[in-house]
Chains A and B, each alone.
Chain A
Amino acid sequence: MTQPIQDSLGLTGDQLLELYRQLLTIRAFEERVKYESSLGNVLGPTHLYIGEEAIAVGVCAALRPDDYITSTHRGHGHALAKGCRPDRMMAELFGRETGYCRGKGGSQHIADFSAGMLGANGIVAGGIPIATGAGLAIQLKQSDQVVISFFGESASNRGPFHEGINLAAVWRLPVLFVCEFNHFGQYTYARQVMRVENVADRAAAYGIPGLVVDGNDVLAVYQAAREAIARLRAGDGPMLLECKTYRLEGHNIGDELYYRTPGEAEAWRLKDPIDRYSAWLKDREVLSEALEAVTQARVQAEIDSAVAFAQASPFPPVEAALQDVFSADYAVRLS
C-alpha cells in the first residue's frame, strides 16, 4: 500500500470540501436506499456501496465532465460521483417514469450518457470490454478523453477481464481499469477463489502497470487516479489501479451476512473512508464542526428531496414495456 497522503495535492479548500460533500452524498443516498427498500419503495435486488465511497469520489475527481465511466451492479456511488442526479437515480430505483431509464433498468442498469456514465452492469465484468470499446472510439476520434472501468476483484476471475484489458493494452487505449477490492464475491471471500493477493499483480500479464492504493483514503485514490489519467491522456496506454476496501454491507440488501468473519467489519469500520477524511479535514482546519453540520444537513435535504421527487413521479405507462427495444425504425413482433 502507498503511504497515507500528508498534503492536499494542490487542491483548494473548496475542492477538498467538495470531495467531502460527495462522500457524504453517496453514504446518505445508500443509507436511504436501504431504508426505502425495507419499505418496498425501492424495487428489486439492490447492492450498496457503503464503505467504498472514497474510490468513486477519488477517481471521478480526477476526470473531466466529458470523460466516461463504466460501472457495476454496485454502481450508485460511481453514478453520483460522475455527476448523475440523486433525484433521477432515486426515481429509477423506485421504478418511476422520471428515472434515468424511465423505470426500465433499475439499480443495476442506471446510465446517463449525457454525463458520460455508460451504464451500471448486472453482469460481473460486463463493463470491462465496453470500456475498452469506448477507449477505442476515443482513439479513433483522436480525442484526449479517457474511460474509467470500475469493477470488483471477482470480475478479475472472469474471461472478459482478461480479454478486455489485453485488447486495451494491445491498442494502447485510454482506459483506466479500477479494481475495487472489497473482499467478497457475493458470499465468497476473495481469498477462497484467488491465489494472488493483489489483482494489480495481474497487470503484468498484459504488459501494463498495476498499482495498489488504499481505497479508503480518498486523497490517495485521487492522487493515483490523477497520475494514471495523465498517462492515459498522454497516449501511454491503459493501467490497472487496485483500491483496497471493504464491503461494509451485505452483497445486497437483505443479506444476513452469516458468512462474514466476526469482528472483521468492526475493524474496517475504524477505517471508514468518510470518518478518516473528515478527521483529516478537521485536523487541517478545512472543516469545522459547524460546517460539518451544515454540509450534512444540505446533503440530507438533497436526499429527502430526491425521495420526494421519486414518490411524486408516476410509474411508467404499460405501453412503455414494448418501447425502446429497437429504434423507431423497427417494431417488436407481438404475434
Chain B
Amino acid sequence: MMATPMPAGVQMETRRITFRDAVREALQEEMQRDPTIFVIGECVELRSAWRTTRDLSVLFPGRVRDTPISESAIVGAAVGAAMLGMRPVAEIMVGDFVTTCMDELVNQAGKARYMFGGQIDLPLVVRIPTGLAKNAAAQHSQTLESWFMHAPGLLVAAPSTPYDCKGMLKAALRGRDPVLFFEYKMLYALQGDVPADDYTVPLGVADVKRAGRDVTVLCWGSVVHKALAAAVALEADGVSVEVLDLRSLVPLDTPAIQRSVERTHRAVVVEEACRPASAGADIAAWIAEHVFYSLDAPIKRLAAPPVPKPFSTPLEQAVVPQTDDIVRAVRELL
C-alpha cells in the first residue's frame, strides 16, 4: 500500500509506521500516561485478531484482558467501569459484531450521561475494526457508522492515515465521552509518517487531504485513498479535485464541508456502506440544505447498493465504489 504524508505544516521528527502500529502506540503511550486505561476484548492479550494490541499485556499486566466471546458483556462492562472513573478500551473484533451489543452501545453507553441528567462522564472507547477485508464475506465486511450517527450520545471517528489514527485515538482516550473508533481493516498495513513526540488530533475536525479547485470529494476511512488516487488521475486531465477527509462523523465538521464546497461548487460524497440512509446520505442532505446556492451541479453520491457484501473477489470489488467510479463521477459533474 502507498504511504501517507504528514499533514502540511507539521514539523517534527517523524517515523514511518503502519496504521496498526499507530493503534498500538496510541494505546501504549496513553496506558503509560494514565493508569485508569485498560483494554478488554477477544484475544487482545496475545495480539488481537488485527495485531493492534501486541505486547501490551506484557507491558501492562492485568490491564489487557481476554474476554469470552461476549460482546454484550464487553461493552456493558466498559460502561460500568467508566461509571466508576476508569477509561476502558473495548475491542469489537469485527465491525459486523456490533449487532450483538447494540443495546450496550446505543441504550447504555449513548444515553447514560443524558438520561441520568449529566451526573457522569462516560470516557470509554470502543474500537471497531471495520469494512471490507479481502473476501471476508457478508458477516465480516460491513461498515455501520451511520447507525451510530443516528443514535444520540456517541462520538464516531474513522481515521484514514496512521497519523490521524494515532492522534485521534489519543484524543479519544483523553476525552470524557464514549467514542466509537472505526478502524478500516484494509488500512492496517498502510504506512505513514507519525511524529516521534506526543501529539493529538481532535475529534470532529475534518482535514483537506488534497486541495483542489473544481470538485470536492467528501469521504473518510479507506475511501480517502481511492479519492486521492482519483484526484491524481484527474489532474492529468487538468481537473483539480479537493479531497476532504471528514475523519469524524460525530461531530461532523460542517464548517469544513461548507468552506470546501463553497470554493469548488461541486460535491461528490463517497462511502463503502450501503446507500440507503447512510452517512453519505446525511452529508449530501446537509450540503443540499446549507450550501445549495453555491452548487453548480447536483450533489453526486457513490455508495454500495443495499446488498450484503459478497464473497468472491469480482463481486466484492463490484459493490463498493472504486477509484474509477470516483473519476467517472467527478467527470460527470464538470
- Give me the interface of A with B, judged by CB distance under 8 Å: 68, 70, 99-105, 109, 111-113, 118-119, 121-123, 126, 128-138, 140-141, 147, 159-160, 163-164, 166-167, 170-171, 323-327, 329-333, 335
A-B contact list, 13 entries, CB within 8 Å: A68-B84, A70-B80, A113-B83, A113-B120, A126-B104, A136-B40, A138-B84, A160-B72, A166-B73, A167-B77, A325-B114, A326-B155, A327-B177
Q: A121 to B103, alpha carbons, bound, how many Å? A: 11
Of the residues A126, A163, A326, contact of B73 by C-beta under 8 Å: A163
User: Chain A interface: which of B11-19, B249-257, B325-333?
Assistant: B249-257
- Assess whether B83 is in contact with A133, with CB atoms less than 8 Å apart: yes
Please, which residues of chain B bring their CB within 8 A of the CB of A324? 113-114, 117-118
CB–CB A329/B176 < 8 A: yes
Please, which residues of chain B bring their CB within 8 A of the CB of A135? 80
Q: How far is the CB of B249 from chain A (nearest CB, A)?
A: 10
7 closest pairs, A vs B, by CB? A129-B76, A133-B80, A133-B77, A101-B117, A324-B118, A163-B73, A137-B84
Q: When A140-B86, A335-B290 are in contact, do A133 and B175 touch as well, CB less than 8 Å?
A: no
Chain B: minimal CB distance from A180 (Å) = 20
Q: Which residues of A contact B7 (CB under 8 A)?
A: none
Across the interface, which residues of B come within 8 angstroms of A164, CB to CB?
Answer: 72-73, 76-77
Report how far A104 CA is from B113 CA in the complex, Å.
Answer: 10
- Measured CA separation A111–B113 after assembly (Å): 11
For the complex, is B121 an interface residue (Cβ under 8 Å from A)?
Answer: yes
Contact status of A129 and B80, CB under 8 A, knowing A113-B120, A137-B85, A333-B251: yes
Q: Is the CB of A99 within 8 A of B104?
A: no
Interface residues of B (CB under 8 A from A): 38, 40, 62-63, 65, 67-68, 70-73, 75-86, 88, 103-104, 107-108, 112-121, 152-153, 155, 175-177, 203-204, 250-252, 254, 286, 289-290
A230 CA to B296 CA, complexed, in Å: 72
Contact of B113 with A326 in the complex, beta carbons under 8 Å? yes
Question: Are A326 and B153 closer than 8 Å at their CB atoms?
Answer: yes
Which residues of the other chain, B, contact A326 by a CB distance below 8 angstroms? 113, 153, 155, 177
CA A70 to CA B79, docked complex, whole Å: 12
Chain B residues, Cβ within 8 Å of A103: 117
B115 with A105: CB separation less than 8 A: yes
Which residue of B77, B83, B84, B254 is within 8 Å of A333 (Cβ)? B254
A residues within 8 A CB of B152?
Answer: 325, 332
Separation of A88 and B9 alpha carbons in the complex (Å)? 53
B13 → chain A closest CB, angstroms: 29
Cβ B113 vs Cβ A101 within 8 A: no
Chain A residues with CB under 8 Å of B250's CB are 333
Decide yes or no: A119 and B177 within 8 Å by CB, A163-B68, A164-B73 being known contacts: no
- Are B117 and A100 in contact, CB atoms less than 8 angstroms apart? yes
Contact A325-B153, Cβ < 8 Å, known A102-B118, A104-B114, A133-B83: yes
Instruction: Give CA–CA (A229, B35) in the complex, Å.
Output: 27
Closest to A166 in B: B68
Q: How far is the CA of A164 from the CA of B71 in the complex (A)?
A: 10
The CA of A335 and the CA of B254, in the complex, are separated in Å by 9
